[in-house]
Structures are given as C-alpha cells and as structure tokens.
Amino acid sequence: MLDLIRKLRDKWNNWTGDRELEFAIRRHLSANGHFGGTAKLQNVKLAAVQRPGWLQVYRFDAIAKVNDQSQDDEADHPPRYVQLYGLVREDVRHDMTTIRTFEDPEHRRELFAQWSDDLIQLRGGRALS
C-alpha cells in the first residue's frame, strides 16, 4: 500500500499539468543538444508570479540523454545522461516564453533571483529548495 502511495505522489510531483509548457521545455532540450522527447521532467512548479498572473516563472528538473552527434558507433560509447535544472519565464501579454537550463543548480538560483525580482515568490521565497 505504501508503494502505491509513493508512486502516486511521484506521479503527481512530476506532472506538468500544462501540455504547451511541457512541449516548450522538450523543444528547448532538443534544440540544445539533448533528446527532449525522452527526457524525464521532474518537479515542474510555478515558482513566482506577477499579479494578475500575466508573468510567471516556473522551475523544473530534467534528466536528459545527451545527443552526441560525433559518436560514430554507439556500441563503443554508452549513452550519457545529465541532470538539468531549468527555469521558464512566460509573459502572456507579449506571448513570450524563455527557457534556460543549467547543469549547476546555483546558476539557476542566480537567474531566478533576477527573473523573480518584484514578483510574488511561492513557498515563502524558497521556490527553488
């Protein structure tokens, strides 16, 4: 029974809830040297918002396979996966979505501090913890 509850909790935590946002993240990963279609997205959460909600900042984590085109024979080289830490900034007024990913969570925290300046940060300002 506990296993079922854990699986449901994990599924809920990793559920994006926004199909367009999920596709935008996957396109960004694919355009930046990863296999975005098979990436495992985790912890996609709203982190900051500006009233009345036109400007939103989301955080996410991803485990993505690196698309290394230089490898001639994949049998000689095992696939390489990376843990990525990302931010999405959506401005609905201007129909702009900006996505950035980092391999170091500290870089994401720095960008989050810039993007969330003067915004309401969810979870008491600990949106990236």
Q: Cα–Cα distance between 94 and 101 in angstroms, integer?
A: 22
Q: Which helix (H) or strand (E) holds 108?
A: helix 105-115
For 121, list phi and psi in degrees, rounded to 5.
-90, 130
> CB–CB of 84/62 below 8 Å?
yes
Per-residue pLDDT of the chain (129 residues; tens, 9 = 90+): 777 777 667 666 666 567 899 999 999 999 999 999 999 999 888 999 998 889 999 999 999 999 886 555 555 678 899 999 999 999 989 999 999 999 999 999 999 999 999 999 887 555 665
* Greatest alpha-carbon span in the chain: 53
Beta bridge pairs of residue 45: 59
Could you tell me the pTM of the whole model?
0.80
